[in-house]
Amino acid sequence: MHWHHGAFGEVHEEAGCFGELIKQSPQNCNGRRQARATNPPGAIGPSSTFSTTADRIDVYSVSKRSHKMGQEAQATMLGSTLVEFKVDNEHNKHLAIGNAVHSDAIAVGGHMWRMNCYPCGASIHPLWPSFRSFIFNNEEGEQVEQGWRQFRSQYGIESYHVTEGYITFVCAITVVSKNSIPVPPSDLGEHLARLLDSKDGTDVSFNVDGEMFHAHRAVLAARSPVFKVGLLGSMAEATMPSIPLNDIAPAVFRIILQFMYTDKLPGDDELRTSPFEMMQHLVAAADRYAMDRLKLICAQRLWANVSVDNVAAKLACAEMYSCSELKSKCIDFFAAEKNFKKSVLTEDFLQLGQNFPSIIVELRERVGT
């Protein structure tokens, strides 16, 4: 069993960044990682390095035979995801060498991953930093290198990659195994979506502003504790064949139903209204029906395009519907002095102050004004 480190896999003396394997696994699979900043990286000097790594909590092995020319190998993908990692540049650019900003844990393919970002580099050696990915072979010691020889200087990062005070990294993580029997991806969501569309076996309907929606009590009860009480408990709705729903638009309830059956939201281009407005309505509905995962997915979508022009409206949404994760992100965004000075001039900020005066006090304490 080998331990190896690095930006994408190995600690190297010339690297300004590294990752660390902190848990061993007997599984025999190959982890491939790719990451990029929002623009292609360029050459950097020997100091003031800004670097990032992706850590994984497993050891992967791959047979040397699969790398030989002319040999065929069958690989099965165990999991794949695309991760966005935002780093507050102003608050972290002066960290000591070797200190990192860590992403949340990422579960992919039965393994846990984490991205580490070293704003001032991970090594004190006056050498060029590197950003690399490795396929590591435990048995033969062979390494197939991928990725970047050089990452970015702090000057290059601040000049080309900082947007609204944040640097955004995107990391694609794919875990594959060559020794498994291929299994297709789960199609449970597709089958349940067809069940919803076909109306087969439906036993309850909802009247939403004159539009009828048919569904299955068991599915809704499994997905929402609020629906469980209403549809399977002693409330009057439990015996009603058609239930009227107020204070929610048909378009919003349609997406709620689709999410309950498929665990997915439509893309922005599939919405018939402003994505910002729809996400706000969905956060409200998720709070109403105690659907925490849906609320966080919507909060993530709201946060993805935060700016000085809309952060106040998003903070108001987070406060109104008890979304502490989005609220914390928005307050951190406000805490950057240049963001605060611009955001306070917006109409949304005035409405925020009128509706949630305690938030303004919290913001001023945080900013120090």
Give 302-325 pLDDT, tens digit per residue. 999 999 999 999 999 999 999 999
Q: Residue 217 forms beta bridges with which residues?
A: none
Cα 31–chain centre separation = 19
Our count of domains for the chain comes to 2
Q: Quick check: is 2 in a domain?
A: no
**Euclidean distance between CA atoms 49 and 160, whole angstroms:** 14
Same domain, 168 and 205: no
- The per-residue pLDDT for range 254-277, each reduced to its tens digit, is 999 999 999 999 998 898 889 999
Same domain, 294 and 197: yes
Same domain, 171 and 196: no
Q: Quick check: is 145 in a domain?
A: yes
**Residues 343, 306: contact at Cβ < 8 Å?**
no
What is the pLDDT, as a whole number, of residue 63? 33
**Euclidean distance between CA atoms 104 and 92, whole angstroms:** 16
What is the pLDDT, as a whole number, of residue 226? 95
Model confidence pTM above 0.95: no
**Alpha-carbon distance values, 67 to 28, 32, 143, 279, 304 (Å):** 15, 14, 10, 46, 39
Rounded (5°) CA angle 337-342-348: 120
Q: Quick check: is 157 in a domain?
A: yes
Percent of the chain with pLDDT over 70: 70
Residue ranges in the chain modelled with pLDDT below 50? 1-73, 126-149
Q: Which letter does DSSP use for residue 164 in this model?
A: T
Same domain, 252 and 156: no
- Say whether 344 sits in a helix, a strand or coil: coil
Same domain, 236 and 148: no
Query: Which domain, by its residues, includes 235?
Result: 188-367
| Count of C-beta atoms within a 10 Å radius of residue 234 | 8
CA torsion angle 297 246 239 233 (round to 10): 50
Q: Quick check: is 49 in a domain?
A: yes
Q: Quick check: is 75 in a domain?
A: yes
What is the pLDDT, as a whole number, of residue 286? 97
Same domain, 351 and 209: yes
Same domain, 144 and 101: yes
CATH number for the domain including 270?
3.30.710.10
Greatest C-alpha distance within the chain: 74
Residue where one domain finishes, among candidates 110, 145, 177? 177
- The shares of helix, strand and coil residues in the chain, as percent rounded to the nearest 5, are 35, 25, 40
Same domain, 254 and 357: yes
